[in-house]
């Protein structure tokens, strides 16, 4: 049994966009990455190989507006959450003819008929207080249960996920504490020469 609002495989395949280039940042091909969450719908992130996000979508097969639910999830996954603004979220209802014949048959067979609701999140480049240009990046490391979205300068030689940086800093701190405790213990064990 499928969860209410979940997309069947034919609709998922029809909504998946392939191809395209990153026209804003580079001329390299954009990749689409699908991931799951507790919500019944399907998530897609379209980003260039350097990690700059073009658009993120959440699609659900329902009549209700999933914008509020998607916004809460985006805010959980974004550092800082204030990057997710209501004005950057757009909703669209996708119907059969624009999704292809197989999807059109699937949508026509449902009673009462309903379309697929898609929430689009696009954060356009902006300037920070210091005047540097910022863009939305995504980190998909396996250590994260979901993607981490953050703003960074594309001109920077190195950029990093703030969650990964925190983990690295805390693990370095733990390592330093362990070594100092070991040094203290070994120093205490030494018997002074008489």
pLDDT interval class at 186 (50, 70, 90): low
pLDDT interval class at 66 (50, 70, 90): very high
Are the beta carbons of 81 and 75 closer than 8 angstroms? yes
For the chain, the C-alpha Rg in angstroms (whole number) is: 23
Q: Where are the domains of the chain?
A: 9-159, 161-194
Q: What global pTM score does this model have?
A: 0.77
The DSSP bridge pattern shows strands 78-79 and 148-152 to be parallel
Please tell me the distance from the alpha carbon of residue 25 to that of residue 135, in angstroms, as a whole number. Answer: 10
Please list the helix, strand and coil fractions of the chain in percent, rounded to the nearest 5, in that order: 35, 25, 40
User: According to the model, what pLDDT value does residue 63 have?
Assistant: 86
pLDDT interval class at 25 (50, 70, 90): low
Q: Kindly tell me if the per-residue pLDDT of 193 is higher than 70.
A: no
């Amino acid at each position: 049994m499928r969860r209410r609002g979940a997309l069947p495989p034919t609709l998922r395949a029809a909504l998946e966009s392939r191809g395209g280039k990153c026209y804003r940042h580079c001329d390299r091909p954009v990749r689409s990455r699908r991931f799951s969450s507790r919500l019944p719908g399907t998530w897609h992130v379209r980003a260039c190989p350097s990690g700059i996000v073009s658009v993120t979508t959440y699609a659900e097969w329902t009549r209700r507006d999933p914008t509020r639910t998607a916004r809460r999830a985006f805010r959980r996954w974004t550092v800082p959450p204030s990057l997710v603004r209501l004005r950057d979220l757009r909703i669209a209802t996708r119907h059969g003819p624009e999704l292809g014949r197989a999807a059109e048959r699937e949508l026509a067979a449902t009673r009462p008929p309903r379309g697929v609701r898609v929430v689009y999140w696009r954060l356009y480049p902006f300037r920070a207080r210091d005047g540097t240009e910022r863009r939305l990046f995504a980190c998909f490391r396996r250590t994260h249960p979901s993607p981490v979205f953050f703003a960074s300068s594309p001109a920077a030689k190195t950029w990093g996920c703030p969650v990964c940086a925190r983990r690295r800093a805390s693990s370095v701190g733990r390592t330093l504490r362990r070594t100092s405790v070991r040094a203290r213990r070994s120093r205490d064990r030494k018997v002074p020469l008489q």
